[in-house]
Amino acid sequence: MKYPLFMVLVLIVSAGKAQQSLEGIVKDADTQMPLEQVSVYLPQLEKGTVTDASGKFLIRNLPAGTYKLVASFIGYTTYSASIPVGSTSTPMEINLHPSVIEMEEVIVSTPFHKLQRENVMKVEQASLAELKARGSMTLADGITKIPGVESVSTGLGIGKPVIRGLSSNRVLVYTQGVRLENQQFGDEHGLGLSDAGVESVEVIKGPASLLYGSDALGGVLYINPEKFAPANESHGDVGLDYFSNTRGEGTDAGFKSSGERFKFLVRGALASHTDYKGGDGLLVTNSRFKEKDLKTGVGYQSGSLKTEVRYNLNVSDLGIPEEVAAQSRERSPELPYQKIDNHVLSWDSDLFLKASSLKLTLGYIFNNRREFEDGPDPALHMHLSTFNYNLQYHLPKTENLETIVGLQGMSQTNKNLGEEVLIPDATTNDFGVMATSHLHFKSSDMQFGLRYDHRALDSSSSGDPGDTSFIPSLGRSFNSFNAAAGYRMDIGKSSIGRINVATGFRAPNLAELTSNGVHEGTNRYEVGNASLDNEQNIQVDLTYEYKNQHFEWYINGFYNSIGNYIFLEPNGEVFGSDAVFLYEQQDATLYGGEVGIHIHPHPLDWLHLESSYETVTGKQNSGGYLPLIPAGSLENTLRIEFDRSKYWLKSGYAYLGLSTHFKQGKVSTFETPTGSYTLLNAGLGGELQILHLPVELRVSANNLLDKAYVSHLSRLKTDGIYNIGRNISLGLRATI
């Protein structure tokens, strides 16, 4: 704890340092006319404003130094540059060039806060508004709209991310800047996050162990919380959602206010869904779920100090569907069901020195998981407490070189309070050190880094020696060195090429090491393997992107070689009525990629034709395919955008899309093939002025033709239960 205490002392001393300001004007590069309502933002400082009617902006209370500045406005290319801030700063002039290409956002999940076109590592990003416009019912459902990302689902309420064929503990989830831990090893353990109060989602598709340590072997899902209000502003909003298929109701309300130094926000949300109806017209019994969510935060910024504390409480009641039986529109789950309380507390602080900066992030996550099977008392009851820390020092920048060094760690305890034991009481301690650099040239960039990690895991024994369900105590340690290197270059004026090579690792989890019993809901008797080693992989990514004013296309390819891949395999024995499965290891390979095209022809800039295709193949090197590999899919969308803000509608849109999932016949030994299917989707929306208040309206329809289909990644597939049928969603958000 000496690092956090030292950081607190340094921050207190630094709070009184001199404050600077930044001012300027933003113009249209072609007409030289000033632009109003342009967002001017300093991502590292998380401070910004919008330009006034004269195109001018002023940002106060800034520390001296050099920072990235981003100016963005619909219909213009996003501006990005490093600018000095100091007592001698003079007003600056920013010229934005017209463009119909969507605005770019700063990537937060990578350490150097670059725009996507500047980033060496390809990162997918989608705003929550985009996901909601496409009819997403939950955050786990929404992320499946991002290329290369799918979800292993148990009905609608339970879903967990799959990135290029890898899921569970191979995909790390970050929220509020801290690592989320909520027993994600389980097949039926979902994401555990609400979409209320989320700004955007970022996806690193590939090993990110250099940045995040163990469990980032397959990628990272990075959830960005909503920003605080700009200085000296206050905002409130209320949102309402309705989903026809589940008769689902959702509401959330938020308020945020910021002064020059202090800032505050709060948001509460409620959601309730009845059983969903499949394409065959039948309700899937006990697929209902309810959710309550609270998010709040306070921040302080003065001179060289920026600090904020955020807290999130999520309470979920999740029915576990097993069959199509009683047809009911009840909202309270039947047995079996889960009741989960998830607490996330984070503290993030930055100290900005004249030429460098220090960043400390602390997080505490408490997960209270109860599973009820046949009575009022939980059969499974687990408490998981996790403290994690991340300290990074940004060395003084040179003209072309940025470097970050840091240390990162986690201390975790798991405790069982119920009769059923899936994993024993245990403690886990992680520690890692890393260094990474970004080297900028005139028309290219290079990024490289190294990291070392150590994990110590100690578990207690469970049960009585001699019993078939006895789990002996375990003490193991795991170590790993990892490296990453990437290169990005401009190819002419309109193209970008990227190549990245990175290694990653994952220490085996408690379930894989210690399991000895029936895993309810999977119909398996699982036996762990205490001698499992680290999974270790190396992945190569190649990316090419082309963009001009009216046409863009991209192709992403990857090859992922995983040593000691951990998997379940039946041994032919039966315990009671359940087949016995053993955890084994074998080398494996995954490969595939994504390709997409976007046409917005001149002079029909309001018309957008978009198409994307994604595929992944996963194989054991000794033969056979890996389980839970998503089928190849093709997305085709016709979208129009229009603005009638002078009359009645602002930022209007409408779309029609076809989502095709091809047959998945490359399956593991205990899976069955899944047939192909195509879904028709549509939607429209925009912003109206009602009683002088901006009101956002949206309507979307998914599976418009009420197709009866089964996803390959649905855990209900083995029971012959269809995925959701036609669903029409209505959304409204009023800003005060």
Evaluate whether residue 269 is within a structural domain: yes
* Structure tokens belonging to residue 474: 């375990």
- Whether 269 and 249 have beta carbons less than 8 Å apart is answered as no
Query: What single-letter amino acid sits at 413?
Result: T
pLDDT for residue 102: 62
For the record, the structure tokens of 448 come out as 């490289």
CB 460 within 8 A of CB 470: no
- Distance between CA 16 and CA 316 in Å, rounded? 44
Shared-domain flag, residues 217 and 91: no
Cβ contacts of 581 within 8 Å, gap of 6 or more: 524, 525, 526, 527, 568, 569, 570, 571
CB neighbours (10 Å) of residue 493? 7
What residues of the chain score a pLDDT lower than 50? 1-17
CA pair distance 431, 208, nearest whole angstrom: 16
Instruction: Give the alpha-carbon dihedral of 212, 213, 216, 217, to 10 degrees.
Output: 140
Question: Which among 706, 645, 717 has a CA at the least distance from the CA of 678?
Answer: 706
Do 561 and 435 fall into the same domain? yes
The answer to whether the beta carbons of residues 447 and 471 sit under 8 Å apart is: no
Query: b vs e for 25-49, b when ≥16 Cβ sit within 10 Å of the residue's Cβ?
Result: bbbbeeeeebbeebbbbbbbbbbbb
In total, how many domains does the chain have? 2
Burial class (CB in 10 A: 0-12, 13-18, 19+), 430: buried
**Beta 219-225 vs 149-154: how paired, if at all?**
unpaired
Residues with Cβ within 8 Å of 102's Cβ and at least 6 positions away in sequence, in order, are none
pLDDT digits (tens, 9 = 90+) for 34-51: 888 888 888 888 888 888
Single residue among 99, 120, 150 that ends a domain in this structure: 99
Q: For residue 493, which phi and psi values (nearest 5 degrees)?
A: -90, -15
Residues 300, 283 contacting (CB under 8 angstroms): no
Rounded to an integer, what distance in angstroms lies between the CA atom of residue 248 and that of residue 225? 24
Q: What is the reported pLDDT for 14? A: 45
Per-residue confidence (pLDDT) for residue 183, from 0 to 100: 85
Does residue 385 fall inside a structural domain? yes
**Does 159 map to a domain?**
no
Q: Check residue 16 and give its pLDDT.
A: 43
- In 600-648, the DSSP E strands lie at 607-620, 633-644
The answer for residues whose C-beta is within 8 angstroms of residue 277's C-beta and 6 or more apart is 245, 246, 283, 284, 724, 725
Q: What is the 3-state secondary structure (H, E, C) of 93-160?
A: EEEECECCCCCCCECCCCCCCCEHHHCCCCEEEEEHHHHHHCCCCCHHHHHHHCCCEEEEEECCCEEE
- CATH code of the domain covering residue 7: 2.60.40.1120
Range of the domain at 90: 1-99
Give pLDDT, residue 11: 46
User: Is 282 part of any domain?
Assistant: yes
Residue 243 is predicted with a pLDDT of 97
Residue 248 dihedral angles phi and psi, to the nearest 5°: -75, 140
DSSP 12: H
Quote the pLDDT of residue 647.
Answer: 67
- Scored b (16 or more CB within 10 A) or e, 674-711 reads beebebbbbbbbbbbeeeeeebbbbebbbbbebbebbb
Residue 234 lies in a domain: yes
Can you tell me the distance from the alpha carbon of 683 to that of 15, in angstroms, rounded to the nearest whole number? 49
CATH code for the domain of 714: 2.40.170.20
Locus of tokens 């490093």:
82
3-state secondary structure of 67: strand
Strand order in the sheet with 56-62: 56-62, 20-28, 92-96
Boundary of a domain, candidates 99, 121, 156: 99
Single-letter residue type at 43: P
Has residue 119 been placed in a domain? no
Helix (H) and strand (E) counts in the chain = 5, 38
91 and 219 share one domain = no
- Check residue 68 and give its pLDDT: 83
Q: Is residue 674 part of a domain?
A: yes
| Res 584: pLDDT | 92
Residues 219 and 95 in one domain: no
Q: What is the pLDDT of residue 8?
A: 45
State how far the alpha carbon of 324 is from the alpha carbons of 102, 272, 283, 294, 327, in Å.
Answer: 44, 20, 7, 33, 8
What pLDDT is recorded for position 373?
Answer: 86
pLDDT for 82 equals 83
Q: Do residue 218 and residue 90 come from a single domain?
A: no
Q: Is residue 104 part of a domain?
A: no
AA letter at 152: V
Q: Which of 42, 75, 99 is the last residue of a domain?
A: 99
State residue 9's pLDDT score: 42
Closest CA to 567 of 668, 421, 472: 668
